[in-house]
Amino acid sequence: MNKIKIQSLLLRYSNRVYSNLNQLNSNSISCTISTSTCINNNKKNNNYNILNIINRNYSTYTFSDPNENFVHGKDYNEIYKNFKWNIPDHFNIGQEICDKHVHQNNGDKVAVKFIDENGQIKNYTFKQMQKDSNILALALGDYGIKRGDRVGVLLSQGIETVISHSALLRSGIISIPLFTLFGPEALEYRLSNSSSSCLMTDLENVKKLLPLLPTLKSLKKIIVFTTEQDKKNCDLEFTKSYEKLREQGTIVEWNDILSKYPGESYKGFKPVSTKADDPAVIIFTSGTTGNPKGCLHAHRVLIGHLPGVQLPQNLFPSNKSAKYVFYTPADWAWIGGLLDVLLPSLYYGVTVLAHRFPKFDPIKLAQLMIDHKVTTCFLPPTALKMMRQNPQVPSKGYSIISVGSGGESLGDELLDWGRETFNTTINEFYGQTEANLLVGNCSAIMKVKPGSMGKPIPGHQVNVIDKDGNILPDGVVGDIAVKRPDPVIFLKYWENDKATKSKFVGDWLVTGDLGKKDKDGYIWYTSRDDDLINSSGYRIGPSEIEHCLLRHPSVAISGVIGVPDALRGEVVKAYIVLKQSYKPTKELTVEIQEYVKKNLAAHEYPRLIEFIDQLPMTTTGKIIRKDLRELHKKSQK
């Protein structure tokens, strides 16, 4: 095979002094990093070569050029071996996704293509983003919101969300993306835990906030993106409370802010100079146990994500002739929407398609992708499964170059459907809020093994370890972990040092997921460490059983847990949602059990099956197994 040029897997920064982090080769890891880049390690390390880095302010900021350098490699192994991190001392996400493109005379390029609920299109350029986010940043300064403060962004996919994040990040303020479907309790916890001083939101979400204001002592300002028409649709009682808060100055509308900074006054804002390790964003975990934890990430987290976006998206954006349009139905409040799609796309100057689905509809999703010529997308497994199950979803007409998916393993049936529908292999990837996009597939340069999460993304040292941090032999189940220093690893859990410390074993960040590595270096997910089923001495992961069940013609989706058994310790129980044309019967139960025995293993078949209407899932589409365990407990009373 002739060597091929792999674009942008080596991220380099011209005309500046920079440090190399985590210089990987196939056998070892060495580091040459600045003091500020030595993250998540309080003790001194004599192996670090301390470099003197030139401090840069806005006027001398040198923007990165993702297209200036190439890695030459014939395959994954060579690319991984040759990869080097190049982390500048000073780096600001906001400047890289906004100012860079204006500076490089690409300001008129469309940054966001927004489709409203009526199908109306609004194209929003990088130049417009710079102007609007400058205005918002100036207003924040006038309101006393300063560098290091926390500000919530309670907005869905849309232009206002981009304005908000850009303004906050360029001001050195810590941005907190919040899901618009959160209820009052969820919002109160996150805003209180982070001591947020300000919130960006829309009129609909203000209604949730009004009862919370007496308890949110740190929240001083609410900036609302709304229209006069929106306000006409509100009831009288809400309008009175809302207008009173406007009079008091607690609520400020975006249109009022725009009128305060007319003409070219927006040019008075100058982005702050942030180091790569300065805090940028708090993303709360969507964990299934306990209170959510706020993962504090630095500005370097965007750099840490780029290889993990490029590889599973088949070397995005290396196709020079392609008119890239990136889309995901995942909300931008989650790390998958924000850092797998939105920020990397804007970093590369690629148009992001924004559209809010009030309720997920696989047919409308498919039509959106076709109509707007989406080339690149992140589709969660649940979305893919629903598309596959619906016969009305078009099987042709897409402009797809690549599809990435993560969160749950897909299995060969779904991969086959993806190839037939999109004319490309869906590349699975793996990560979590604390350290995302660690493992992935790339059908362009490597063999894809159905069911495997792929191989470590270049730049990340990922392995399977035991409880003491020792790397386990191939084929042995253990903890999936990534070694620090690594730019994608979070700084800490906000206000939770104990939990931060417990996340690490030595220099290994332990993901909490169990898996194994095969002889070819592919990593296979087994289960969460608390989801493992121990039956008659067998350690059984639910994921493999769920994939097997999905291949049965009657099964739409399933969730598998272990339940107590006097003889075997635990037995496998499957909660199954049937396809519409099937009814639960004893005969069908036996048929499904025999199917798993035949196609998977006799010791892994579900001895117990319960048919239910829907599975409990997180807002990111993950099965909440603890809820299934509670459901089983109730059924035993």
pLDDT over threshold 60, residue 97: yes
Residue 476: exposure state from Cβ atoms within 10 A (0-12, 13-18, ≥19): exposed
pLDDT at position 64, please?
60
Given the structure tokens 């994939």, which residue do they identify? Answer: 547
The DSSP annotation for 516-571 comes to EE-TTS-EEEEEETTT-EEETTEEE-HHHHHHHHHTSTTEEEEEEEEEEETTTEEE
What are the sequence ranges of the domains in the chain? 95-115+126-268, 300-460, 531-635
The beta-carbon contacts of 275-279 under 8 Å, at least 24 apart in sequence, are 275/36, 275/89, 275/90, 275/91, 275/299, 276/36, 276/37, 276/87, 276/88, 276/89, 276/90, 276/91, 276/300, 276/303, 276/487, 277/36, 277/37, 277/39, 277/491, 278/172, 279/148, 279/174, 279/491
Q: At residue 382, what is the residue type?
A: T
CATH of the domain spanning 531-635, picked from 1.20.1440.230, 3.30.300.30, 3.40.50.150, 3.30.70.100: 3.30.300.30
CATH of domain 300-460: 3.40.50.12780
**What is the distance in angstroms between the CA of the first residue and the CA of the last residue of the chain?**
64
The tens digit of pLDDT for each residue in 553-569 reads 999 999 999 999 887 88
Triad 116, 343, 438: Cα angle to 5°: 125
Beta-carbon contacts of 456 under 8 Å, excluding residues fewer than 6 positions away, are: 80, 438, 439, 462, 463, 521, 523
The upper half-sphere exposure of residue 474, i.e. CA atoms within 13 Å in the direction of its Cβ, equals 5
The tens digit of pLDDT for each residue in 466-490 reads 999 999 999 999 999 999 999 999 9
Q: At residue 144, what is the residue type?
A: G
Beta-carbon contacts of 59 under 8 Å, excluding residues fewer than 6 positions away, are: 270
Q: At residue 300, what is the residue type?
A: R
CB 611 within 8 A of CB 559: no
Mean pLDDT of 452-457: 96
- CA-to-CA distance for 181 and 502, rounded, in angstroms? 30
Residue 469: exposure state from Cβ atoms within 10 A (0-12, 13-18, ≥19): middle
| Predicted confidence band of residue 613 (pLDDT cuts 50, 70, 90) | very high
pLDDT at position 11, please?
38
pLDDT over threshold 50, residue 51: no
CATH of domain 95-115+126-268: 3.40.50.980
Helix (H) or strand (E) holding 154: strand 150-154
The tens digit of pLDDT for each residue in 200-243 reads 999 999 999 999 999 999 999 999 999 888 898 899 999 999 99
With a threshold of 0.75, does the pTM exceed it? yes
CA dist 398 → 222, 403, 419 (Å)? 41, 12, 12
- CA-to-CA distance for 247 and 227, rounded, in angstroms? 17
Cα-atom radius of gyration of the chain, to the nearest Å? 25
Domain 95-115+126-268 shares a fold with domain 300-460? yes
